[in-house]
Chain A
Amino acid sequence: MSAARSAGAAWRPFWLIFPLVALGVALVYPLGLMAAEAFVTPDGGHGLAGFIAVIGGGLFLGALQDTVRIALTATALCMFLGFVLAVLIHFVPFVGARALSRLIDAYLAFPSFLIALSLTFLYGNAGIFGAVGTSSGSSFLYGFWGVVLAEVSYYTPFVMRPLLAAFDTLDHAQLEVASSLGETPFGVLRRVVLPAALPSLLAGGSLCLLLTINEFGIILVMGVKDVTTLPMLIYGKAIEQFDYPGASVVALCNVALSLSLYFGYRRMLDRLPA
């Protein structure tokens, strides 16, 4: 028995080889190539000159600023709207609340560009409400608030889903006791419901932030003119200008931004009371 066990232990490293090789070939190697490309100089050598030139350029800084502004604004609005809608669906009894909750699940399966396309039909230059927000002959949809509107429309359910799950596990006796102690419905929401749902709200919000930082399909389909985000800049440099070293620099920065947000999010969750 123990001989068989020790033989099994001896084979254990072997079983790790395949997934490690697959991971290396499919993920680490291409990322390594991209990272190496980022440090190729204009004369074909290697160094920091090309890297510094890209990240010091106005195009990159503008894209970084637009990306962060859009992501933060969309995430804040998604969290606010998601919380309000989840509270309404869960706590305000109305016919069809359950069906609506299911619809949200289905909505998560939609591709993001569908939302962009449908908004174009509504607010695009040739859309039904094409004149809304028009000041310079172009609809607001092709600017900052258009992207935010599309991202809020698409990503709000990503906040609502974990919130609805958290509300399902909330002890309703707590709400009743809070009410009997003299707290108003708004006070109960603020002092009991919100703290209980905070980890889920932050989890949904963080997911939203990560996804909006990297959002590409919505902006591409909308044909946005007034803002450039990091993914759009990568696309432009790689596909339109064939500037692969430049695209790799922006992509590295995009990855660094996403990873820092992710680790910040993990750290914040660890600090929350259980």
Chain B
Amino acid sequence: MSDPQISVRGVSVRFGSHVALHDVDLDVSAGEVAVLLGRSGSGKTTLLRAVAGFTHPSEGRVYLDGRDVTLAPPHARGLGMVVQNYALFPHMRVADNVAFGLQARRRSRREIDETVPHFLEMVGMSAFAQRFPRELSGGQQQRVAIARALAIRPHVLLLDEPLSALDAPLRAEMLEELRGLHAKLPEMSIVYVTHDQTEAISLGHRIVLMRDGRIAAEGSPRSLHDEPPNRYAAEFFGQANLLPAAIEPGDAHGRLVRVCVARQVVRATRTAASPAAGNALLCIRPHDLRAAAGGGHGGDDNRLSGRVHSVRWLGATQRVMLGIDEVSIRVDLPGNVEAPRPGDPLSLSFDPERAVLLADT
């Protein structure tokens, strides 16, 4: 494997007595899209700013292409950056905004005249080259901001919640465009900060889930979704149901184990994050549960039974809240089937491969 394009080693950032980042390690390979995902205050933007050079680590080192840039100023790092509010220069026309970085790097007039139209065309903004930023919509401004960042041909592009100021349809459109852009520039690494898991799943080769200034979990979107390494990752990423469970004695080995959940025995999958025996959490996604035909519960056909608390129709799906003993779980049933009514008994079945066991911590 080649050396990482970005390497963060043991980075901590303190603001007075507040520790915003705790001893974080992160590597991003060439061409990789790493998404820093987390709630507000989780440290994702601080980590991005430490890479960009706007925040100096209290401890640790930052390397770009193997070069130690920990103390290098932002203008000496050669990174492209796009921020949430676009930060276009209001006194410059679109073409001048895109040319800004090239002029800062003392590129020749000829190179600037060739490069600016190329990147404006790449983001579909050629027709707006002579407009001022105030004459553009939010989506158009974001496209210009991306073209401006790409025009300096950076090896690394940093995106700090770039779509959060856009409405939902435009956001979906821009996500597709970002994917398309990366396909055109496959060698460029992208670090993308967001609190939106849809954006994270759509774009990320790897998701780095941040919490309280630490990396809580990281992996591919599918691995984090299917086999979350811990409770926080399971809850944050996909809103999984977490049911207290006890591993049945004698099932200490093997991939599939029997567990007792609310006095009902079902089968689930053991992963690297599962405890060997005793108490655990059964993690199952709302959309992996389906209404079972007929009554009955437990046993070989992997059923859990309970009573419907509420039903909310959401269009493509309907969210059913089901009470199983003292536990309440979320179930997403297709929107086009007859909805159960509150108070009805309901049996749910699931594939044991889609239910994983986590440590109860």
Which residues of A pack against B, CB within 8 Å?
Answer: 171, 173-174, 176-185, 187, 191-192, 195-196, 273-274
- Chain B residue nearest to A180 (CB atoms) is B81
Q: How far is the CA of A176 from the CA of B73 in the complex (A)?
A: 11
Query: For residue B101, which residues in chain A have a CB less than 8 angstroms away from its CB?
Result: 181-183
* 15 A-B contacts (beta carbon < 8 Å): A173-B84, A174-B89, A177-B81, A178-B104, A180-B149, A180-B158, A181-B149, A181-B152, A182-B104, A182-B152, A184-B104, A185-B73, A191-B100, A196-B90, A196-B91
Docked-complex contact A182 and B87, CB < 8 angstroms: no
Docked-complex contact B87 and A171, CB < 8 angstroms: yes
- Chain B residue nearest to A196 (CB atoms) is B91
List residues of B (263-301) whose CB comes within 8 Å of A's CBs. none
Docked-complex contact A181 and B104, CB < 8 angstroms: yes
Docked-complex contact A174 and B74, CB < 8 angstroms: no
Q: How far is the CA of A149 from the CA of B81 in the complex (A)?
A: 45
Query: For residue A174, which residues in chain B have a CB less than 8 angstroms away from its CB?
Result: 87-89
List residues of B (39-89) whose CB comes within 8 Å of A's CBs. 52-54, 73-75, 77-85, 87-89
- Chain B residue nearest to A177 (CB atoms) is B87
- Chain B residue nearest to A171 (CB atoms) is B87
Of B74, B83, B134, which contacts A173 at CB under 8 A?
B83
Interface size (B, Cβ < 8 Å)? 31
Query: For residue B81, which residues in chain A have a CB less than 8 angstroms away from its CB?
Result: 176-177, 180-181
- The answer to whether the Cβ of B132 comes within 8 Å of any Cβ in the partner chain is yes
- The answer to whether the Cβ of B105 comes within 8 Å of any Cβ in the partner chain is yes
Query: For residue B231, which residues in chain A have a CB less than 8 angstroms away from its CB?
Result: none
Query: For residue A183, which residues in chain B have a CB less than 8 angstroms away from its CB?
Result: 75, 100-101, 104
Docked-complex contact A177 and B83, CB < 8 angstroms: yes
Which residues of B pack against A, CB within 8 Å?
Answer: 52-54, 73-75, 77-85, 87-91, 100-101, 104-105, 132, 134, 145, 148-149, 152, 158
Docked-complex contact B85 and A179, CB < 8 angstroms: no
Q: How far is the CA of A182 from the CA of B78 in the complex (A)?
A: 7
Total residue contacts A-B, CB cutoff 8 A: 75
Interface of A is mostly: helix
Docked-complex contact B148 and A176, CB < 8 angstroms: no
B84 → chain A closest CB, angstroms: 8
Docked-complex contact A180 and B77, CB < 8 angstroms: yes
Query: For residue B105, which residues in chain A have a CB less than 8 angstroms away from its CB?
Result: 182
If A178-B89, A179-B54, A274-B134 are given as contacts, then 18 extra A-B residue pairs at C-beta distance below 8 Å, sorted by A number, are A171-B85, A174-B89, A176-B87, A178-B104, A180-B52, A180-B74, A180-B77, A180-B80, A180-B81, A181-B75, A181-B100, A181-B101, A182-B78, A185-B73, A185-B75, A192-B89, A273-B91, A273-B132
- Chain A residue nearest to B54 (CB atoms) is A176
Docked-complex contact B78 and A176, CB < 8 angstroms: no
A271 → chain B closest CB, angstroms: 13
Residue with the highest number of chain A CB atoms closer than 10 Å, among B80, B85, B89, B158? B89
Residue with the highest number of chain A CB atoms closer than 10 Å, among B82, B87, B105? B87
Of B79, B88, B134, which contacts A180 at CB under 8 A?
B79
Query: For residue B78, which residues in chain A have a CB less than 8 angstroms away from its CB?
Result: 182
Q: How far is the CA of A171 from the CA of B84 in the complex (A)?
A: 12
A171 → chain B closest CB, angstroms: 6
Docked-complex contact B87 and A173, CB < 8 angstroms: yes
Q: How far is the CA of A191 from the CA of B158 in the complex (A)?
A: 22
Query: For residue B88, which residues in chain A have a CB less than 8 angstroms away from its CB?
Result: 174
Q: How far is the CA of A274 from the CA of B133 in the complex (A)?
A: 11
A187 → chain B closest CB, angstroms: 6
Query: For residue B149, which residues in chain A have a CB less than 8 angstroms away from its CB?
Result: 177, 180-181
- Chain A residue nearest to B81 (CB atoms) is A180
Docked-complex contact B85 and A195, CB < 8 angstroms: no
